[in-house]
Amino acid sequence: MAQTTPNHTQTVSGWAAHDPSGKITPYTFKRRENGKNDVTIKILYCGICHTDLHHVKNDWGITMYPVVPGHEIVGIITKVGSKVTNFKVGDRAGVGCLAATCLDCEYCRDSQENYCDQVQFVYNGVFWDGSITYGGYSEFLVADHRYVVRVPESLPMDAAAPLLCAGITVFSPLKDNNLLDSSPGKRIGVVGLGGLGHIAVKFGKAFGHHVTVISTSPSKEKEAKNRLGADDFILSTDADQMQAKKRTLDFILDTVAAHHSLGPTLELLKVNGTLVVVGAPDKPVDLPSFPLIFGKRVVKGSMIGSIKETQEMMDLCGKHNISCDIEVVSTSEINEALHRLTKNDVKYRFVIDIAGKSSNL
Ligand SMILES: [Zn+2]
Ligand SMILES: [Zn+2]
C-alpha cells in the first residue's frame, strides 16, 4: 500500500506503534509528492488525543500497523500545489482528523463532509491513491488543501493544536445548537472536565453563557471555577445537588468516555432541552425513556466538525484568545505521555513538540 505507491517519494521521520503493546518508536516512511491540490506542512506541534491511545493499542480492532498517530497538527506551509489559491508558503496551518472525503455526496456538498460515508482519517485511513495515511507524530505532512485550516496569528501554535480535534468536537455541537457568541445568555452544562470538557467551558464562557460543570470528582470544583471560570458545579454523585438543579439547564454537552446513565443528567435539562453526546464509552450508555418523555428532551451525537466549522472555530478562538491548557512534551517523552493519559493524568492535553529547537518559526 503506502510503501509501494509510486509517487510516494518523500522520506519523512516520524514515530509509530508497531504492535498492540502500543510502544512508540522512531519510524522512517514515505509520503506522496506534493500534488496539485496539496500543501506540505512542516509540523511544529501535535496534540495527543485519546483516540491515539485506542489506535496504538488496537482497542477497536481496526489498527493497520505500523500506525503513526496524531490528528491535532499545526505547522508552517512549505510547499503549495498549482491548484491551491488559499494558502501560501509560510502560512500557519492546522490539520485535524480528516484526510479525504468523496467531495460529491449531499453531506460533502453541504459542508458536512465529516459525516461523508467515504470519510478517511488523517491516520489509519486509506487515501484516494490507495495509500495508508500517517498522522502528525512526524516531521512533515502532505495534505489536500481542502482539509487544511489557517491558524490565527494571535494564537500560540502549541496551545492551538488540540483545537483541531478536542476543540472542534465541542465547538460543532455548540454551533449546531445556536450557542455561539451571537446568542449569549443560555445555561449550559458540561459533563466531564478533561481534554474536551475544559475547552467546552472556555467556549461557553467566551460566548457569554452561564456554564455549569457536572463531574463525579469533588476536586474538579475548584479547577472548574477558579482556573476555567465556570459559574457553577454539580457533583453528580450527590443526589441532593442533582435534585436541587433539576430543570435548570438549556443544553448539556456530555464528554465522558466511561460507562454511565444519561437519566440523571437528562433531569437537569429544562423541557425541550438538548443533550449532545461526544464522549464514546465502549459499552452502550443507559438511556431511560422517562426523562426523555416527561421533559420532551433530545439526545444527539456529534462527531468532530467540518472544515468550514473548524475554520470558523479557529477565527473565533483568535478573536476571543481561546486556546487549550496543555503540557508540552518532547518526542522522547511520547510513551510516558501516553501512559499518563491512560490514567487521565494531564492538564488538560499533551502536545508533542515535534520540531524541537526549530519550533520557534
Ligand atoms: Zn482526537
Ligand atoms: Zn461525501
pLDDT in tens, 129-183: 999 999 999 999 999 999 999 999 999 999 999 999 999 999 999 999 999 999 9
Asked whether 188 and 202 are in contact (CB, 8 A), the reply is no
Q: How far is the CA of 116 from the centre of ligand 1 (A)?
A: 18
Closest CA to 249 of 233, 228, 264, 271: 271
Range 267-284 average pLDDT: 93
Residue 32 sits in the same domain as residue 154: yes
Cell 445568555 -> residue? 185
Ligand 2 centroid to residue 152 C-alpha, Å: 28
Q: For residue 292, give the CATH number of its domain.
A: 3.40.50.720
Q: Are residues 142 and 60 in the same domain?
A: yes
Residues 52 and 159 occupy one common structural domain: yes
Among 260, 119, 128, 242, which residue's Cα sits nearest to residue 192?
Answer: 260
**85 and 136 together in one domain:** yes
| Domain interval for residue 273 | 167-301
For the chain, the domain total comes to 2
Q: Is the pLDDT of residue 23 over 60?
A: yes
User: Structure pTM?
Assistant: 0.95
| pLDDT (0 to 100) of residue 357 | 67
Please check whether residues 199 and 295 belong to one and the same domain: yes
Name residues whose C-beta falls within 8 Å of residue 117's C-beta, 6 or more positions apart in sequence. Answer: 102, 105
User: E strand or H helix at 73, and its extent?
Assistant: strand 73-80
The span from the CA of 202 to the CA of 204, in Å, is: 5
Ligand whose nearest atom lies closest to the CA of 107: 2
pLDDT in tens, 171-219: 999 999 999 999 999 999 999 999 999 999 999 999 999 999 999 999 9
Mean pLDDT of 100-125: 98
Q: How far is the CA of 291 from the centre of ligand 1 (A)?
A: 31
Where residue 358 falls among pLDDT bands split at 50, 70, 90? Answer: low
- CA of residue 112 to ligand 2 center, whole Å: 8
Judge if 286 and 335 occupy the same domain.
no
The CA distances from residue 250 to 120, 203, 253, 346, in Å, are 34, 16, 11, 30
* Nearest-ligand number for the alpha carbon of 112: 2
Q: How far apart are the first and last CA of the chain?
A: 34
